[in-house]
Chain A
Amino acid sequence: MSGGLHARLHVPGRLDAELDADPGSVVAVIGPNGAGKTTLLTALAGVVAAEGHVEVDGRSWTDPVVGVRERRVGWVVQGQALFPHLSARDNVAFGLRARGVRRAEAADRAQAWLDRLGVGELADRRPTRLSGGQAQRVTIARALVTEPRLLLLDEPFSGLDVGVAAALRIELARHLASYDGVTLMVTHDALDALTLADRVVVLEDGRVAQQGTPGDVAARPRTDHVARLVGLNVLRDDAGGFTAFRPQDVVVSPTEPDGSARLRWAGRVAGLTPHGDAVRVQVDTRAGAGVDLLADVTPAASAQLGLSPGAEVWVSVKATATRTYGGPGAH
């Protein structure tokens, strides 16, 4: 038996997933809404009943069943869940007190963690008097102070201002680097997965659709969700292989383009959004490609082509600009 996390969990109708993680690793869990991300976390925490097995640091949590209280998880639930009637310090000390640490020692250790997260001077404040970022730091301190073996972060940066989230992301990365337990982080943000995680697990319909390093998953998405997340066009062929290409490499033209070495589809403009210096055109090619394709064009080209929702266009991409992966024998 090795350390880290080994889990095989089944929650009827919601989750059927297998997961392994080395000690000290950070696993980003991504996927569309309703894919089972939060269910996975709550099942690991023991809050939701699940079949299967969970092993952490070589110790089984499921055979015999270990209750939520004894699981040694640090669980940061989505949204703010600090106890509103307790001060920041008492919130952090709560887990220590519940585990029998004496009042004075619990307060000292709580204060030390608040200091580490840079909110030490706010220790006497109630959560209503903390900003979103400050409250999230207190929440993370509360999860880490009990020295959990498994840290579960459910969208730790959601609802925070962009700047606050960025600062907290950098800080969290530092704390996670010195944390020797396993971290699972549910996120909707590709940036979180790319900057904080060693591994990415993609959930879809309660199953693991893909897993790998962040770079690998971002470069070779196997789900529409991740393709959208990283801004790639991904086509799936009948044999189970994938073809991916970047929106920058897609050409939009009013008539069928020439040239044999091009993949091409006829479609209808479904939407236009600014994207950096370019205009990102969403083209409905569901009849041909099976999905909506994204193309980046210059504003000048967009005006010249008269692109507007409903306009009929051709989109094409050079075969050399595409990458194929997956498929038979390529796993």
Chain B
Amino acid sequence: MSRAAHGSPLGRAPLVLLVPAGAAVLLLLVPLVSLLVVTPWARLPELVASREVLEALRLTGVASLATVVLCLLVGTPLAWVLARVEFRGRSLVRALVTVPLVLPPVVAGVALVAALGRSGVVGAPLRDLTGLVVPYTTPAVVVAHTFVAMPFFVLSVEGALRASGERYDAVAASLGASRWTTFRRVTLPLAMPGVVAGGVLAWARSLGEFGATVTFAGNYPGVTQTMPSLIYQTLQNDRETAQTISIVLLGVSILVLALLRNRWLDRAPTGPGA
């Protein structure tokens, strides 16, 4: 860092850039360090072992894994269609996929209620026909998580599919492979780094999901209460406990970052001639 700032052959890095950069680092760093400072570490084991936290942890784990599986099952085919099939409205579908990225999660939750709620557009006939009710159940948590996590997965996989290109697909076809065989034996294996990265991203997004989940699935311990919901609820009356539970989630997030490091962070763009 200091060598880059002072020893560059292009001259010193200007203060007008260094100062705001430092401010950005502080903004990211101070809250995390503060959380570590105020955490009552002595109570951590006892709190983590409490029934409430264990149930929330279990539910978070189940929901995030189910989210990744659901993304794999429907997101991979969608990414393939977007990358390989030309059809009218493809750019529209791609735009639709990215909507949850910018949509406030609460709005996503409200939209899910409108669709799948007891008297929702799909929810009402579904209840009349099958007796199934989605909202305020664990499946509702998974649906909400998948809704917000899907863009991360699809965009990552589509990028990988585009990068590997259609050349290999064409070669496989000339060797007699059907499109399905080609997908299974060539396209998907070549896109596997993107699938893994997309899965980890979707998993991380699911881990921290709060707004859409609370709105659509509620906050019932053991059924729909995930870690973020529990933290938010605890914060209302017991800040210290909330901070302690947050440490657990922070630990998991850092673990995800470590998993992603090799795949993403090492690919930081390098300068010309580097």
Contact = CB atoms under 8 A, between A and B. Distances in A.
B181 A98 contact: yes
Interface in B148-196: 167-168, 170-178, 181, 185-186, 189-190, 192
Interface string A126-148: 00000000000000001000100
B168 A83 contact: yes
Contacts of A71: 174
A75 B174 contact: yes
A84 B187 CA distance: 11
A98 B167 contact: no
B211 to A, nearest CB: 40
Contacts of B168: 81, 83
B76 to A, nearest CB: 17
Given A81-B168, A85-B189, A95 B173 contact: no
Contacts of A323: none
B95 to A, nearest CB: 29
Contacts of A77: 167, 170-171
B161 to A, nearest CB: 14
A75 B189 contact: no
Contacts of B181: 98
Contacts of B174: 45-47, 68-69, 71, 73-75
Nearest to B190: A85
A94 interface: yes
Interface string A45-58: 11100000000000
Contacts of B176: 69-70, 95, 98-99, 146
Given A84-B190, A85-B189, A85-B190, A68 B173 contact: yes
B190 A81 contact: no
A46 B190 CA distance: 24
Which among B171, B175, B176, B178 has the highest number of chain A CB atoms within 10 Å?
A: B175
Contacts of B167: 77, 81
Interface string A37-50: 00000100111000
Contact of B178 (A46, A69, A85): A69
B175 A146 contact: yes
A47 B170 contact: yes
Nearest to B165: A81
A75 B170 CA distance: 10
Contacts of A84: 190
Contact of B173 (A69, A74, A85, A99): A69
Contacts of A85: 189-190, 192
A83 B186 contact: yes
Interface in B236-269: none
Contacts of B178: 69, 98
Given A47-B170, A83-B168, A95 B190 contact: no
Given A77-B167, A81-B171, A98-B172, A69 B177 contact: yes
A67 B173 CA distance: 9
A45 B167 CA distance: 13
A74 B185 CA distance: 19
A20 to B, nearest CB: 22
B177 A94 contact: yes
A98 B170 contact: no
Nearest to B177: A98
Contacts of B192: 85
A309 B135 CA distance: 82
Contacts of A83: 168, 171-172, 186, 190
Nearest to A67: B173
Contacts of A99: 176
A16 B189 CA distance: 38
Interface in A72-118: 73-75, 77, 81, 83-85, 94-95, 98-99
A146 B181 CA distance: 17
Nearest to B185: A94
A281 to B, nearest CB: 37
Contact of B175 (A42, A67, A98): A98
Interface string A7-47: 00000000000000000000000000000000000100111
Contact of B171 (A67, A75, A146): A75
A263 to B, nearest CB: 49
A42 B170 CA distance: 9
Contacts of B173: 47, 67-69
A42 B185 CA distance: 22
Given A94-B177, A99-B176, A142-B175, 9 more contacts: A46-B174, A47-B170, A47-B174, A69-B177, A77-B167, A77-B170, A83-B168, A84-B190, A146-B176
Q: Nearest 9 CB-CB pairs, A to B?
A: A95-B175, A98-B177, A75-B174, A98-B176, A68-B173, A99-B176, A85-B189, A47-B170, A69-B176
24 contacts: A42-B170, A45-B170, A45-B174, A47-B173, A47-B174, A67-B173, A68-B174, A69-B176, A69-B177, A73-B174, A75-B171, A77-B170, A81-B168, A81-B171, A83-B172, A83-B186, A83-B190, A84-B190, A94-B175, A98-B175, A98-B177, A98-B181, A142-B175, A146-B176
